[in-house]
Each structure stands twice: as structure tokens, then as C-alpha cells.
Amino acid sequence: MADRIKLSRPADRKGAPALKSRILRLIGPCALALALVSLVSARQPATTSTAAMDRDLIEVTIPQLHQYYAEHKYTVARVVDWYLERIARYNGIYRPIEQVFDADARALAAREDAAAGAAHGPLWGVPIVIKANTSIQGKVTTDGWEGYTVPGHELVAPRDATIVARLRAAGAIIIGHTNMPDFANSDTNRSSSFGRTGNAYDVRFSPGGSSGGTVTAVTANLAVLGNGTDTGNSIRMPSATSAVIGVFPTRGLVSIAGIAPLDWLLDNTGPIARTVSDAAIALAVMAGEDPLDPLTQGSAAKAQRGPYLPYLKSDALRGKRFGVPAFVLEGIGIPFRGTPAVVPDVAAEKQAADQAVALDPRTRAAFMKAIEELRALGATVVMDDSVLPASFARTAARVSTYPYVREGTDLFLKEFGPAEYRSSADYERVMGAPLGAPVIGSEPINAEFESGDIKITQRVLETDPDAERNYKGPRRRALQDYLETMDRLQLDGYVYPAIQMPPVDETMPQDGRVSEGPHSATSWVNMLGVPAVVVVGGFYENGLPFGMEFSARPFRDGDLLGYAYAWEQGTHHRHPPVLVDKGLLPSGR
């Protein structure tokens, strides 16, 4: 079972009243209805049996949960207890939750039950989890790394990440911090700070990374929803392993301020939920401009604004056209974080080939079956060699962000680090050892080329004379190719497998070594910053989930959620995992 972190209750956060006001304006008339829920007394006895609660709360949605509150069937405190009891029973086997905030959650539940006569936000009384790289005031932001958990030198968050403040203002109850690999830098879910998370559908298999803790907690009904982060696939690929909805918003729609970066030019955050409707509700809460994240500035004028529930129509796929990226089916590689301009084409092509992942025949078969279902729902699917071909992959491969990694880490620590280290240099001075190589740009695999003859040094994006060649120019050209293909073929979006293979068995070697996967071919979505969503595409013969991904035009997030909803309602592929409270890998490591 996860260690329980008992810290003093955080002080009230500045700006909370304004956030609450914004949330209430967002939901409009729903606020009045939810206000009636607060009339439920926290002193009301919970008489419903555990078996009945299991029937009601397994797979519960936000609207259903609010209905139970409105009917006085359950109190918030009883619902929170139910989730904490499930965590106590199953966390020792699957290990998705690194820190359980049981005392804080129960205290907040009691306060929410006691509140009377006030309007409530759209996530009122909803138990959620937060990924361990996302700052929660007063809690340790482990980022999956043991170096942030050294006694006396922990990275204790001085304030909430922007999305955490917004989720709190909407009434959500945070019950834990979810496990993740060190710095979010892995396609599986092992951390030096906590250990391994197993797939809820079979603990021997990987849930993917780096949001594997959140997807396992959500799909296993240890929380209603949670946040993930995504630098190269890390919301979408884990969601695909675990039959949940994973939303990668248009970059700039949701603030990433307060999230420990792996690569700030690629990072994003979004909701992970069991249903598209719940994900839509959460995204509306999380979205918004933030002075701490410059990329959000001006987004309100460009975006389809929440609430997003009105976009969810069961016939949203009818008459729509989707292209299948040819390079994904061909298994052509796009190096994670790209290849800097100074690297010759021959060396760049070798790096891309080394990181290429072929599409597994089982995944190809599952995808083709899903394509037929998509067509049956009224969509046209264009499979043609001209749809994002190898030339697109070569352009995207030159979107190089690695020279600017340290800058993102320093910006995070400046605002959300502890008092004793507010930069990577401070950390090394205090601890006598550097921060991890992935977040300060010192990994040999990315920092050296041509047998060390070419070294990639760390720079500041705003003052780097090579920024146009390294990052801005290739990104602009790749996005242009993406959009021009949509225009030429009159596409509403793209559709493709979210992973190149089924979830992998971590009791067996993968490619002759300890499992490092499963792997995807979707990091180009981060390079472009376009919105994407993973849906439940079906199940493999071994009972593990297959996930399918849609992407769309920038800031058409509402339309994208509509496609996902129509797919969900037209297929109903999801079914919850059957959990065990005893299983393999008892140490979790």
C-alpha cells in the first residue's frame, strides 16, 4: 500500500474565489441544480450496503455521482471512503498511487457535506488523482525520481499547479498522487521513487508510461478521473493500454505551469477518464489562459471554448472524413525530441531508423477492424500513400527541442521548486549531484552525435540564433504539411493506432532486454501541438485493450471530443478490469 503522507492543511490559495466564479459561469444553469446537492447533511447515516455501493460506484460517471448526491443516496464522505477502501485493497498489487492523501480527502469531504446553500462547481465531490509531476501545495512532487524525495531535501510544492487550483475550485477531491517513471522519461511505468505499476487488466503487463499510474487508477475505479502529462505519447499511449479516454488538448488550451517538465516545448497535460463525457467536463475546468504559461495567452480567442458537453453528439462521425498517416503504418521513426540542425542528414536518418518501431501485425489487424467500425458509423476513411508520407516524418524529425531542455527545468524550479533549490544549478550545489540527465540535457544519446564530434549544448530559446533552424522553422513546416493534407483531401482529422504494439508482458524480455515499452509513433503530435484523443478501440485476443487515436485541427478540441463520443456511443467497447487483491510481482519492483 502506498505511504500515507500526512502534512498540515495548505493555506488558502490566492485567486481561488476568482477561479470558483469562473467555473460557475462556465456551467451556467447547472450550478443552481448542483447547489441543491449541498443540502445533504454530512451527519446523514450511510445505510447502503457495500455490495450496493459497488454496483452503483463501479464505472460511475460524474453526472451519475451528482445524481446520487442530489437524491441523498450517498454523502461525499461515504463516496470518498469507498474509493480509499479500494485503494487500500488493490494498491499493493497494481501500485498506481504513490502518495495517498486520505486525511486531507476525508477532511475536505466532510467540509463539502457540511456546506449548505452554496452553488457548487462541476467536479464537486468527485474523487480524482493527480500525476506525481504535477504540483500540489504542501505535497512532495516526486516526478517519479528518488532525487526529489531525499529526506530533508524533498521537492515540496510551494503552491498548486494551475490545473490543480482549477480542479480544486471546481470542487474536486484529490485523493492521491499517481506513480510515474523518473521524469516521465519512459514508455513503461517504473519509478525510482516508488517502483512498478502493473496493468489493471493483467498485472504482469505494462500500463505504458508515463501516465501509467493515472490510467491504472482510473480504469481500476480507484478514482473517477485524473490528469496525465504527455511529452511524446504519455497520456495517449497509456490510455490505449487500459481502455480509458486520454485527451491531449491543443497546446495552449491548458496551462502546464506547475508541472515538472521533461521537455517544456513538447509537454502538455489533459484529463484521463473512463468516458468521453467525464473527460469533456474535466477539460472545460482545466482549460484557460494563465500568465505563468505564455502559450496560453490569446487561446480563448482561437479555441472552441467550454463547456464541451454540447459538442458530444452520437452522430458526430456521420459524413466526416479521416486520413490514416502513411508513415505510422509503415513504422517510420521520428526521433523523440527531434534531431538538431547541426547534425548531418546521414546521422539524422540513422537516429530516426534506430528509433523506428514497426507496426505489430496484431495491432494492424485490430486497427483495420476498428476502421470498418468507423465506416459503419458513417465516416469516410482515406488510406493513401500521400497522407502524411515519409517526407512528413523527415520534416517533423528536425523539430529539435533538446537544446532547450534545461531552460524549461529552471523555469519550473524558479516558480515551483522548494526554497533551497530554485534552479538546476542550485540543486547540484545543495545535493552535491546533478539533476537527472533527461531534464538538464546531458544524455549522451541526445547530446552527442558522430561519435562525440558533434555536441549539443544547452541554450535559451529566446536568444539562440539557431532557434529558427532547430525548432521554429521545422515545426512551422511540419504543421503546414499536416494542415495542407487536410485541406487537399477535405479531412476532418486523422485516425491511427495509438500504440505500435499490444501492451507488453513485463515478466518476459522485450527485444532481448527488460521491457521498455510498449512504444508508439505519435510524438509528432507534441511537436505540432495539435489536439488528439485516444478512445477504446477494442480488445486483443488475450483480453488486453487496443486503443485508437484521433487528431484534428488546432483548437478544434470540441469537434474532436464529438468524434470520440460518437465512437464511444456507437461501439461501447469498454468493460472494466477484474481486479485481484493477490497477484504476481508482490514487491511491485
Q: Which residues of 29-60 are buried (b: 16+ CB within 10 A; e: fewer)?
A: ebbeebbebbebebeeeeeeeeeebeebbeeb
Tell which residue, 139, 122, 121, has the closest CA to residue 130: 139
* Helix pair 557-571, 276-286: axis angle to 10 deg: 160
Whether 101 contacts 137, CB under 8 Å: no
Give every CB contact of residue 578 below 8 A, 6+ residues apart in sequence: none
- Give the position of cell 477535405: 490
Q: Which residues are tagged catalytic?
A: 131, 210, 234
Whether 450 contacts 347, CB under 8 Å: yes
Query: How many CB atoms sit inside 10 A of residue 536's CB?
Result: 27
- Give the position of cell 506513480: 179
Q: How far apart are CA 358 and CA 393, in angstroms?
A: 14
CA 472, 473, 475, 478: dihedral to nearest 10 degrees? 170
Q: What 8-state DSSP symbol labels residue 148?
A: G
Q: Is 294 helix (H, G, I), strand (E, B) or coil?
A: helix
Whether 258 contacts 135, CB under 8 Å: yes
Whether 180 contacts 212, CB under 8 Å: yes
